[in-house]
């Protein structure tokens, strides 16, 4: 069965109605099982493009790459060809899983203290504008995946993205939310403002109304060049020249040499077992994958018979496990090409047992007692008047995830980003390429929080050619009776909350036996060492459970929502596939009958 895309109406009202139908229909499809391939992404057009590739005989890689390029068009606040990411690719026939790191790298002109003046970080330098731009890797990564593992031609796979860039896409509530949070930043760059904003009644460029059609003809031309000349059309020649000129003219340090020399990196997935299930995830410079394995390992040791649902004592243990995983991140993790990461020890049963054994089952451990923060770190809890308050500001974390399992059992889990919402807010003139602000994922000043309040240490300090640490955690869980058969492909955006989102989805499926739709929708908890707060989303916990956690010494912060988990579950008994897109947002879970 083919799910047809809703046709275009005339006028803003018709476009808005059509959009609503797409979103409601996507939510209705989310719980359906499919006999063929299945996909979950944060955008209905991206899921539709992935499904189109599957129906044309493509595999999971073709579908994921098509979705990624469409996401670059319709979700510029989350990802784009000016960004980068990580991907896991599983080949069902051989049973092999490969990891590809196409994360951005620091330009050769970057320096350790480039955002520090008079001993203090200069606000905004690492998040807004040209100096925040790292060398983008998305184009190289997407096209390498397609060349190495896909079946369809680039002209076929990129066609949906090119069409949407040329003909336009409709502004959604999520677009409005994200653009509102970055409005002033977008207004600073005339090219970004021209493309992503629209005149208001006073003639000022402002957040566009729902249903406004955003067209990107320059980006369509850039994507078309990729179908003809491949990645070199992006990293050398006129497009590269435009990227370099835009960054240089605005005070950045990206050069033609940086672009021409960019290379992706093959990696060996991190591996562990959880309750008999093989789990594969990303290694450093992903810090998220390590956290996933460490926390699952601690929970299995602390609760060997399983985790009772929403049990306060178990939630306390989970929080303490996460706290310790983030301390390890701050102490040890950086780009392994530049620093010695004791990875074998950090994932070893002995180390995980030591971490689990250090947890007091009766009370919370103050974060500062595990790793004393440096001056300026986010050490304090919320003021008393803010306790229990929902965060009013829009989510600013800027990442997206794509999960695909095809009819043959091949799978992709890909997380990709431009970092902050709308990246650096800088568009290379004539190309339509929105550039990342990935330099903020370095420890711009070791021990001082980045835009997500996340603290990392000296191993993640800025160096030319270095890859910044990332929380992105694309993950596969395999069937218990067949360690080569995908059970779950999962990932999420959400900055520092990505690993905890992935951990909880896995726990919901494996420990609670939830169907995947409920697993991605369930309320979440998050701790990240500093600030010393336990974040609970508004669907997270009952008042009595919150009170029990507070009695153990946890500082609770109520958060409106975070993350956008995208997952595909493949039932090993029936071979039916169940895609699920997080109901917190606007995604779509589609599949083939």
Residues labelled as active-site residues: 399
Q: Residue 286 burial (CB < 10 Å; 0-12/13-18/19+)? A: buried
Q: Which residues, including other chains, have CB under 8 Å from residue 159's CB and lie 6 or more apart? A: none
Dist CA 555 CA 322 (whole Å) = 15
DSSP for 359-375 reads --SSSPPPHHHHSPPPT
Q: Measured between alpha carbons, how far is 294 from 282 in angstroms, rounded to an integer?
A: 13
d(Cα 536, Cα 548) in Å, to the nearest integer? 14
Q: Are 414 and 474 in contact (CB under 8 A)?
A: yes
CA distance 522 to 511: 13
Residue position matching structure tokens 């970004």: 192
Over its C-alpha atoms, the chain yields an Rg (Å, rounded) of 22
Whole-angstrom Cα distance, residue 210 to residue 190?
Answer: 22
**3-class SS at 153?**
coil
Name the nearest CA neighbour of 433 among 280, 260, 285, 225: 225
Distance CA 79, CA 472 (A): 13
3-state secondary structure of 132: helix
Buried b (16+ CB within 10 A) or exposed e, 72-109: bbbbbbbbbbbbbbbbbbbbbeeeebbbbbbbbbbbee
Among 544, 497, 545, 491, which Cα is nearest to 525's?
A: 497
Q: List the end-to-end C-alpha distance of the chain, in Å, as a whole number.
A: 5
Instruction: Give the 3-state secondary structure of residue 410.
Output: coil
What SS3 string covers 240-275? HHHHHHHHHHCCCCCCHHHHHCCCCEEECCEEEEEC
- Looking at the DSSP bridge assignments, the partners of residue 116 are 121
Structure tokens at 254: 């990206």
Residue indicated by tokens 């923060």? 373
Q: What letter does residue 396 receive in the DSSP assignment? A: -
Let me know if 481 is exposed, middle or buried by CB neighbors in 10 A (0-12, 13-18, 19+).
Answer: exposed
Q: Name the helix (H) or strand (E) containing 514.
A: none
């Amino acid at each position: 069965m083919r799910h047809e895309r809703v046709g275009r109406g005339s006028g803003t009202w018709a476009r808005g109605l059509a959009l609503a139908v797409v979103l409601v229909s996507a939510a209705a499809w989310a719980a359906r099982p499919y006999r063929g391939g299945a996909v979950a992404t944060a955008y209905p057009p991206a899921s539709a493009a992935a499904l189109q590739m599957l129906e044309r005989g493509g595999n999971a890689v073709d579908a994921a790459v098509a979705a990624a390029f469409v996401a670059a068009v319709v979700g510029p606040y989350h990802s784009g060809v000016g960004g980068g990411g990580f991907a896991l690719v599983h080949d069902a026939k051989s049973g092999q899983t490969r990891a590809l790191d196409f994360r951005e790298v620091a330009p050769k002109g970057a320096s350790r203290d480039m955002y520090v003046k008079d001993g203090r970080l200069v606000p905004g330098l690492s998040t807004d504008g040209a100096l925040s731009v790292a060398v983008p890797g998305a184009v190289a990564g997407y096209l390498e995946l397609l060349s190495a593992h896909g079946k369809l031609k680039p002209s076929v796979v990129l066609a949906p993205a090119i069409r949407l860039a040329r003909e336009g896409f409709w502004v959604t509530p999520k677009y409005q939310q994200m653009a509102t949070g970055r409005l002033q930043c977008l207004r600073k760059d005339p090219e970004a403002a021209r493309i992503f904003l629209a005149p208001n009644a006073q003639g000022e460029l402002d957040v566009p109304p729902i249903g406004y059609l955003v067209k990107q003809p320059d980006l369509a031309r850039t994507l078309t060049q990729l179908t003809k000349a491949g990645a070199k059309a992006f990293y050398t020649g006129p497009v590269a020249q435009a990227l370099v000129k835009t960054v240089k003219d605005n005070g950045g340090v990206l050069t033609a040499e940086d672009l021409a020399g960019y290379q992706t990196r093959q990696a060996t997935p991190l591996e562990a077992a959880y309750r008999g299930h093989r789990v594969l995830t990303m290694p450093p410079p992903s810090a998220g994958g390590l956290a996933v394995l460490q926390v699952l390992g601690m929970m299995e040791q602390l609760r060997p018979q399983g985790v009772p649902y929403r049990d306060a004592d178990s939630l306390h243990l989970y929080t303490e496990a996460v706290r310790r995983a983030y301390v390890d991140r701050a102490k040890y993790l950086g780009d392994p090409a530049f620093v010695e990461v004791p990875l074998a020890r950090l994932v070893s049963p002995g180390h995980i047992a030591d971490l689990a054994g250090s947890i007091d089952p009766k009370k919370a451990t103050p974060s500062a007692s595990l790793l004393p923060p440096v001056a300026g770190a986010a050490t304090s809890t919320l003021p008393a008047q803010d306790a229990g308050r929902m965060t009013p500001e829009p989510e600013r974390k800027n990442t997206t995830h794509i999960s695909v399992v095809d009819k043959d059992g091949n799978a992709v889990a890909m997380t990709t980003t431009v970092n902050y919402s709308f990246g650096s807010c800088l568009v290379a003139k004539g190309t339509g390429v929105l550039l990342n602000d990935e330099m903020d994922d370095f420890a711009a000043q070791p021990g001082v929080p980045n835009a997500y309040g996340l603290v990392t240490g000296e191993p993640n300090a800025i160096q030319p050619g270095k890859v910044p640490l990332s929380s992105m955690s694309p993950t596969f869980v395999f069937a218990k009776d067949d360690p080569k058969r995908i059970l779950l492909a999962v990932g999420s955006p959400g900055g520092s909350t990505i690993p905890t989102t992935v951990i909880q989805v896995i726990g919901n499926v494996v420990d609670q036996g939830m169907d995947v739709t409920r697993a991605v929708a369930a309320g979440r908890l998050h701790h990240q060492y500093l600030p010393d707060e336990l974040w609970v989303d508004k669907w997270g916990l009952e008042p009595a459970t919150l009170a029990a956690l507070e009695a153990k010494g946890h500082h609770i912060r109520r958060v409106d929502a975070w993350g956008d988990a995208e997952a595909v579950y493949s039932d090993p008994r029936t071979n039916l596939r169940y895609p699920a897109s997080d109901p917190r947002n606007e995604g779509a879970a589609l599949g083939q009958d």
